[in-house]
Amino acid sequence: MSAAVQHTLAGQATLEGTSLHTGQKVSLTLKPAPEGHGFKFRRIDLPDQPFINADVDKVQTVERATTLAEGSVKVHTVEHVISALTGMGVDNALIEMDANEPPIGDGSSRPFVELIKKVGTLAQSAPRKVWEIREPIHLETGDGTIITIIPAKTFKVSVTNVGPEGRFTQYFSSEVNPALYEKEICPARTFVYYEDVKPLLDKGLIKGGSLESAVVIRGNEIMSKESMRFENEFARHKALDLIGDLMLSGVKFIGHVIAVKPGHGPNTMMAAKLKAEYARMRSMVPAPVSIPDGESVLDINEVMKILPHRYPMLMVDRIVDCLGDSKCIAIKNVSINEPFFAGHFPGHPIMPGVLQLEAMAQVSSVLMLRKPENSGKIGYFMSADNVKWRRPVLPGDTLFIETEILKMRGSIGQTRCRCLVNGELVSEAELKFALMDR
């Protein structure tokens, strides 16, 4: 996570223009927002002025542009303004519009960058959380699109644009920071192929489109009111779109995004994958443990009065609950300082499965030895059946060990045990013990 703080806008600013699809006049206002707010759109032209989060879960359509929806409320073509906010280092902003899509402008994100620069940005108090990609994340579609994010120490995009029949194949690569975004990415205009938009033009569905708001490609001819701004302008605009679409994941990250033939569909699919991977990564951080009050809770000192084990072989930190005489729940905080990590896959430390089994056995012993008639005895491990290991237990995990007595006949007991991390089963077994005098 980065030590930098979050930023919002230092004031509010408004941009007026024409919407692409309806050709209507539209006013867009960028406003400051509090820490942790992220990007939200607000339709001030509708009753109750509803909000729509800039979230991949709200993506409705991705044909020629990215559309978000909350119920019947929609905002179209959101990628340019989100790209500009992200590229210029803004974390939190409210985007108010009096129509269902932003002004198209010249088809680039430069008008939004100029709006941001007009008011400036403001540092906030909360730290900016930035996910450092540690393992490659890959997406491949059936039509030839490939998007891969690999580890890097900066946020970088490398894009190869491939048009129909291989026309206008271009490449662009750059780090993404405010200075480079403003100079190298934001001026790049959107482009369309005439054969794709002609049916829409014939139906009057792109009323705000013109050669001033997009570059039109007809065959191998480029139709535009001005000359190309860059030799590889199309690849640069694909990078612009990619940045905006990926930020719908809600995750700031550093890594190198390598994309071949990107588009709004694959881009938002990768945003969804990013969001899911981030949630999975965060789930590995143990949630705060709520320890129930009552006599059933045993701290480490009380556990050691029952069990003969001592560090490093004591695998129970605390008994957090006992449900009557038949069930018990304990925790073991798995620290990187555990001695077994030094020799058990030191390059990829995981808790040995046999030690998870030992933790189950120790909690089972506590459960059986709590009975008054077994006080002062010691539990000897006899057998383990139906042992299964489901997933690795890593340093930093909190291991929850659940045990239940199945049978108890004289000095012989049988228990069913499970180990869980963040509610996910990691191992299980059925154990048999003999209780003996010390």
For position 343, what pLDDT does the model report? 86
* Each residue's pLDDT tens digit, 114-126: 999 999 999 999 9
Preceding omega of 312 cis (within 30 degrees of 0): yes
pTM of the model: 0.68
* Each residue's pLDDT tens digit, 385-404: 999 999 999 999 999 999 99
Q: What is the mean pLDDT of the chain?
A: 88
For position 209, what pLDDT does the model report? 52
Query: Tokens for 158?
Result: 């490398």
Least-confidence region, from 200-204, 234-238, 346-350, 398-402: 200-204
For position 160, what pLDDT does the model report? 97
What is the spatial distance between Cα 208 and Cα 91, in angstroms, rounded to a whole number? Answer: 30
Q: Which sequence positions are flagged as catalytic?
A: 264, 344
Domains of the chain, by residue range, sit at: 5-283, 300-437
* Each residue's pLDDT tens digit, 49-59: 999 999 999 99
264-283 vs 233-246: helix axis angle to the nearest 10? 40
Domain spanning 5-283, CATH architecture: 2-Layer Sandwich (3.30)
Question: Which of the four pLDDT bands, split at 50, 70 and 90, describes residue 239?
Answer: very high
Topology of domain 300-437, CATH: Thiol Ester Dehydrase; Chain A (3.10.129)
For position 201, what pLDDT does the model report? 56
| CB contact set of 297 (below 8 Å; sequence gap of 6+) | 291, 318, 319, 320, 321
- CB half-sphere exposure, 421, CA atoms < 13 A: 25
Q: Stretch 349-374: mean pLDDT, rounded?
A: 87
- Please choose, from the candidates 260, 259, 168, 159, the residue with its C-alpha nearest in 3D space to the C-alpha of residue 216: 168
- What's the Cα-to-Cα distance from 164 to each of 167, 200, 219, 230, rounded to whole Å? 6, 18, 10, 20
For position 370, what pLDDT does the model report? 73
Length of the chain: 438
pLDDT surpassing 80 at residue 1: no
What is the spatial distance between Cα 98 and Cα 46, in angstroms, rounded to a whole number? Answer: 8
- Please choose, from the candidates 102, 215, 232, the residue with its C-alpha nearest in 3D space to the C-alpha of residue 158: 232
- Please choose, from the candidates 228, 192, 222, 225, the residue with its C-alpha nearest in 3D space to the C-alpha of residue 211: 225
* Each residue's pLDDT tens digit, 288-321: 545 455 555 788 888 888 888 898 899 999 998 8
* Each residue's pLDDT tens digit, 73-83: 999 999 999 99
Q: Which residue has the higher pLDDT, 348 or 32?
A: 32
* Each residue's pLDDT tens digit, 189-204: 998 887 766 665 555 5
Q: For tokens 């199309």, what's the residue? A: 234
